[in-house]
A and B are shown apart, each in its own frame.
Chain A
């Protein structure tokens, strides 16, 4: 038993080191005065200054944040509808098709999604004249389409865990379908909706491949700018940017953990 736990501890410590060493090195080298990755030139905030003065990165970051915000809001609305339809609306014609269309974007290679959407936009433009050119609008549509699938899956699994008696009670008391949804179901699935929104936001903010296909001239998102910079070599400003992102995510994860622990304590008290 003892020998096994030593083996378990070492191998999982190595696993966690494998996961975290690259990220830690990004954080440390973002404070490096020297431009060379492996030469330590002393602590400095120089690259953070350069990052905020880099107009190309800042414009792209602002554009990506805007796209991510609109995308995740749209994806949450459409995805919640899809998840609700699939788990609460019984049988209807085309249910199999809808559930297939929800599952498929999750396994679709990004290059195929990107290419097919671009070809659709080009074809639509030549037939209907819309969308005229490509840019923020087409990126938002593309991102919403794959994010809504993630939201639908999260909402669906939350709904399947929920006790349906609450909704039945509301119906027995004469709630209309719309008020049943907004007053009973929606508050109950709000954690799933929040995590769906956050997940969509991250997915949209991080997407390089699909955005590269469907964006137009002048609408380079942050991952597109990072990709073109990184291809030319390691740039310390990107280290600074990565550190800021990691810090934000850490704060978010710690807050979520704190919330989970508090909830666990509360349920323990009620028991």
Chain B
């Protein structure tokens, strides 16, 4: 549950007849922990939420600075409960939805026949709430494979026509339900493999939907196939609620569905967590390494509990592989703590961790130091510890850190982490896969720097090269991710959906640049973006941000060089820099002054304006970064 404690607002733009974009500012968030709102945390009792929804909504709406967003729910069945529950779980994420709801089972007609109310609503997100009951091409009994394949194609094309129209005319992000299984199996187990089996048909349709999601942007799957299995088909598909209310998903299962959709939207807005901080003893292995010694730790397939610890380590390793940063926070002597990872059955190794704190200091202090070393916010962290006293202390002293009540049963740790959707991603972005190594390489750079007394010599020795170019489709996901996650080196803290990034990249009145930075230690990846909008002969900076990974490398000077070149080539005479102060971006208050801008008279406390004469001012560039050729990419 999130409450923002700083300025938040919504700005609407219209540019020459193109769809309205909404730009959203998100500033600091602090969690709300009332007893009532804990109903929305694990373990969720759906009946309690269905009964207490009015009080929950009142309390959630009282949070300041909610992010407004427009969501259209296009239903293939009754969607009243979906809307009601989705509103609660979005509010719990600090997102305040306004809804458009299609008429009953009008998901197809509303789009294909351009329902004026939907078109006027201009949704930012479209949830297509369809289920197996909306499949119109289920095979007849004993149809052959060729006929069934044609049915699959027709059904897929029907949905594709919806998606393409939504993208072309509304530009919205689509969240499409895949399909749950029907409740009944007339062919019995043969449903799973016979061409005419409905179970088989659902699996094929889901495969087609997944392929579309892999190959298209602004299209995500709400995995009801998985959710219905998790809830159980009998609880998911209730005949009572279908025949009485035409609800395809029972009310209690709708709670799980809504929480899942809210997690997807949360990820789109960059609110997922980045770092998992782990205790060691009885969290990653059974036993106390300092007392029992490595050889007596309970870890590995020879022991049921040991197998469970090993599986939890494997789960954590998989998180790390797809970009979650791992850190250790343990009450141990550091050498003893490290030794635990030498156990032959330890899946996790020391170099999987980007930070390692093992000492006898209080854990809240250690977690603060981990956040500072990694340059991430406390609200990006999740802390897992089997010890309830340690969890309570961290929860009390660091309320921004998510501290789930994992209990002490290792067989449930992963399930509880997943239940809270902490690390939900839109898509796995290539840069995510290397995130841990970025932090580890940075630690090497910091150690290397200690060899130099002159900082300029250090920068020169890094042999840095930058790739700076206009936005391209290859990096769309990473650019969107960076825009929505970066808080400190961020001049305006404006957020963009991926649809908006794509639109601005194609706008001839805008200048967009991304920057990648590599050095002798390795590739930092895509670390900075800027967006400027041309108004007459001036370019107003809408967005300029940079990952803290590359602070003090003068990458912002290299980006500014490239920006000035672009302006000169287009005859833009002035750059207008905008700085909007937030609680987290004070480090860039001086950014434009250092680049040689002069303060504008139109500045106010909440919005500072700076001016730069492109053709008159003396350029400020960096001798330490050479510009490389952009990789093969497709312009947006």
The judgment on whether A and B are partners is: no
Chain B residues in the interface with A (C-beta under 8 A) = none
